Amino acid sequence: MKRQFTFGKITYYLLCLIVSISFIAANRVRVKRYSLYQMKVWELKAREGYVSWWKPDGMVYNRKLKKRVQSYSIGFGYNDQGTSARRKAIAKYTRDRKVSYSEAMTISMSLDVWNRKYHNDPLTNLAMQLYAYNRGTITSPSQLGRCCGGKNGCGHPRRNVRRSHNPRREFELALKRHDWIAIQAHVEENQKKAALNDRMYK
């Protein structure tokens, strides 16, 4: 007796096949896990960029002077916010007005931003810490993924700034969403850039 295949049965078998293929594909994806410290260090080394001297780094509002003033940054994006107090805080590293590669990392890792708890979820907290390091402040996870007036991503008028900011905002969103595939892709790229900088400056 020949087996009769109805449309419903064919649909059922096709769905089973699709589910099986998806399951096999998902198990073939090897997602690496990284420590919060590793992701933080590689992000700074790869995305902030190392500069050994004070360089102009945007305009900031000075509360004492009640006007916008030129700010300068050094090392891995340590910004003086246009104040002498910020410079005095790292004066022992900048007596010759320069910092070495290792000194720059010491400065960055000693900042108070890494001690702040913005969120109970560790990955979201790291995302907010990274955002605060890069942008100066953050109060809510809803701010992740955008900056410089942009609704999605960076809204800065200069293309080079957007190219610098957008990968960071995307990484921070991936951390918030626990998207380990996106996290792994970003971190692996960071590892390569960080290793290159290590060889160049150490």
- Whether 190 is in a domain gets the answer yes
The confidence band for 23, taking pLDDT boundaries of 50, 70 and 90, is very low
For 81-138, write each residue's pLDDT tens digit: 888 899 999 999 998 889 999 999 999 999 999 999 999 999 999 999 999 999 888 9
Mean pLDDT, to the nearest integer, of 42-56? 94
Q: What integer pLDDT is reported at residue 70 of this predicted model?
A: 93
Strands 51-62 and 146-147: unpaired
For 169-193, write each residue's pLDDT tens digit: 999 999 999 999 999 999 999 999 9
pLDDT tops 70 at residue 159 = yes
Where residue 68 falls (left for φ over 0; alpha for ψ -120 to 50; beta otherwise) is: beta
User: How many Cβ atoms are within 10 Å of 32's Cβ, its own excluded?
Assistant: 9
- Whether 21 is in a domain gets the answer no
User: How many Cβ atoms are within 10 Å of 42's Cβ, its own excluded?
Assistant: 21
- Whether 27 is in a domain gets the answer no
- Whether 17 is in a domain gets the answer no
- Whether 14 is in a domain gets the answer no
Length of the chain (residues): 202
- Count the domains in the chain: 1
- Whether 105 is in a domain gets the answer yes
- Whether 80 is in a domain gets the answer yes
- Whether 135 is in a domain gets the answer yes
**For residue 116, what are the domain limits?**
36-201
> Any idea what DSSP says for residue 98?
B
